[in-house]
Amino acid sequence: MSRYFTQDHEWIDVSGDVGTVGITDYAQSQLGDITFVELPEVGSAVGKGDSVSVVDSVKAASDVYTPVSGEVVEVNDALGDEPEKVNADAEASGWLFRLTLSDPSELDALMDEAAYQFYVASL
């Protein structure tokens, strides 16, 4: 499995042609206590950079952008009852959705973990 990051603080774990997407620990810490997560519809086609989800917190609402193009194949339904999972474990059990990648070459424009950590340190 390979993990990639965006400058908008999303991550994607890729296994085969399926990517699992969420927001980074840095993003959830900036948002504060998450109170609601709006997830995309299963079966919807999304384009790289599209706003596909919204994370509401006590501080603000924040769009979540898909790091790559594809079709949403699963959403993390547990977040409906427990949006705080994103705060507790943003980069594992707090994932948002899974999609099949329509253009795996789009991953080339994303950062690896070392590059992302360097980017966050510069903020």
Of 47, 58, 49, 52, nearest in space to 84 by CA: 58
How many domains does one find in the chain? 1
Residue 9 and residue 65 in contact, taking contact as beta carbons nearer than 8 Å: no
Q: What is the CATH number of the domain that holds 87?
A: 2.40.50.100
Q: To the nearest whole number, what is the mean pLDDT of the chain?
A: 97
User: What's the domain range around 84?
Assistant: 2-103+112-121
Mean pLDDT value across residues 116-121: 97
pLDDT of residue 104: 96
Nearest to 92 by CA among 2, 29, 18, 22: 22
Per residue in 23-62, pLDDT tens? Answer: 999 999 999 999 999 999 999 999 999 999 999 999 989 9
pLDDT over 80 (residue 91): yes
pLDDT of residue 64: 97
Other CB atoms within 10 A of residue 115 CB: 12
- At residue 1 the predicted structure's pLDDT band, cuts being 50, 70 and 90, is low
